[in-house]
Amino acid sequence: YNVLVPAGTVPGLKRMRIVHVESAAPSSCGTYFYGETEDYNVNIVAAPACLAPTLSTVAATCSSPGTATVSNYDATSTYVSTPAGATVGALGVITATAGTAYTLTAANATCGALVASASFTIDVQLTEPVAPAVTTTVATCTSPGTATVSNYDSTSTYVSTPVGATVGALGVITATAGTAYTLTAANATCTSVASVSVTIAVQLAAPVAVATDNGDATLTATAGTGYVWIDCATNTAIAGATAQTFAPTVNGNYAVVLTNAAGCSDTSVCVTIANIGIKEIAGTGVSIYPNPTSSDVVINFPSNSASIEVMDATGKVVSTSTITTGGKVTLADFNRGIYYIRLNTENATSIHKVIKN
């Protein structure tokens, strides 16, 4: 037989009586006619103390909290935590509130006094920074676009892929325009997931406006998508002058405001037109060559001699001479441009345009 020792029995030498009777309920001190009574001396010893749980822990990471396990787990024991709330499951895995300190006891049918474990705490999951959120502005004709970390945290360190982008005060990103980057934010222990790809827009290309004097009192602009000719004397647009080629009606200084497909514009330098009103007058039998020339021209005409006046594009006389037919007139000392030669003979006067290269 197994005899259950009453709970709370003080250890030591005890007397145990076993009574067996027939046809009556036994009593330790009763009287009966048929039965048997036996007395025994029994030494009650204290049950061994319950084994204190030993614990092993794993530190938290950026993706999960820490863990705790009863390394001497006994499936026959009942585990109780202080404070309440921690439980021990299969294989000794502990489920508890991270960040709270606990102790454990283990009790079973063969042990007595409960012995608490050392205090343990399941580490709270490490804080991972939020992925950088980036806002951008578009490029203009005068500057590239911009990019800013809208959820900027001054305690975080920002790293770009590929390398080269940096995050400054208030989250302003400095990077090579036209290159795509992603960013991560890191604190002392964790790194965030990458941001979406971000590219700082390249500054829009501006045109280079050039107004060219065609030599015939007209101006032509470099190619673009829009043209506005202006009078440099007043810096105002000339009504209706919106074609690539412009024909002034009066002498003056003119420039073009050129626009390209990106919507960017540039203003040319001013060009002087001063030959409006000077017209060639053909002369019978007159030839001038070479034209254009880099130095001299030869003039043939149907007379013995002629007086020569060389005029610049404004009509100002810059040299005079008298030659015979086949004679030379030099333009070697003059700047490049358009000149007019007035040929006066005893029979006629003619005006001829010559281009000096």
In the prediction, which pLDDT does 281 show?
A: 63
DSSP 22: S
Does the pLDDT of residue 232 top 90, yes or no? yes
Report the C-alpha gap between 226 and 191 in whole angstroms.
Answer: 51
**Between 37 and 245, where is the model more confident?**
245
pLDDT tens for 284-330 read 789 999 999 999 999 999 888 999 999 987 778 999 999 999 999 99
DSSP 283: -
Q: How sure is the predictor about 279, in pLDDT bands with cuts at 50, 70 and 90? A: low
pLDDT tens for 140-181 read 999 999 999 999 999 999 999 999 999 999 999 999 999 999
In the prediction, which pLDDT does 209 show?
A: 97
Segment 56-63 shows an average pLDDT of 96
Answer for the pair 351, 337: CB distance below 8 angstroms, yes or no: no
In the prediction, which pLDDT does 21 show?
A: 82
In the prediction, which pLDDT does 150 show?
A: 97
**Between 199 and 337, where is the model more confident?**
199
Averaged pLDDT of the chain: 92
Answer for the pair 310, 320: CB distance below 8 angstroms, yes or no: yes
Does the pLDDT of residue 51 top 80, yes or no? yes
Of 50-59, 70-79, 158-167, 314-323, least confident by mean pLDDT is 314-323
* Phi, psi angles (nearest 5°) of residue 208: -115, 110
β-strands 211-213, 219-221: how paired?
antiparallel
Answer for the pair 219, 231: CB distance below 8 angstroms, yes or no: no
Q: What percent of the chain has pLDDT over 90?
A: 71
Omega of the bond leading into 248 within 30 degrees of 0 (cis):
no
Q: Residue holding tokens 């500054």?
A: 203
In the prediction, which pLDDT does 104 show?
A: 97
Q: How sure is the predictor about 24, in pLDDT bands with cuts at 50, 70 and 90? A: confident
In the prediction, which pLDDT does 280 show?
A: 61
In the prediction, which pLDDT does 337 show?
A: 87
Answer for the pair 259, 248: CB distance below 8 angstroms, yes or no: no
Bridge partners, 44 (sequence order):
12
pLDDT tens for 206-223 read 999 999 998 778 999 999
In the prediction, which pLDDT does 285 show?
A: 87
Q: How sure is the predictor about 277, in pLDDT bands with cuts at 50, 70 and 90? A: low
Q: How sure is the predictor about 278, in pLDDT bands with cuts at 50, 70 and 90? A: low
pLDDT tens for 249-268 read 888 999 999 999 999 999 99
pLDDT tens for 86-128 read 999 999 999 999 999 999 999 988 887 899 999 999 999 999 9
Q: How far does Cα 7 stand from its chain's mean position?
A: 74
Report the C-alpha gap between 357 and 336 in whole angstroms.
Answer: 5
Encoding tokens for residue 335? 């700047």
* Phi, psi angles (nearest 5°) of residue 219: -125, 145
Q: Residue holding tokens 């003056």?
A: 252
Q: How sure is the predictor about 276, in pLDDT bands with cuts at 50, 70 and 90? A: confident
Does the pLDDT of residue 64 top 80, yes or no? yes
Answer for the pair 259, 225: CB distance below 8 angstroms, yes or no: yes
Q: How sure is the predictor about 333, in pLDDT bands with cuts at 50, 70 and 90? A: very high
Report the C-alpha gap between 156 and 164 in whole angstroms.
Answer: 17
Report helix, strand or coil for 291: coil
Of all helices (H) and strands (E), which one includes residue 231? strand 226-231
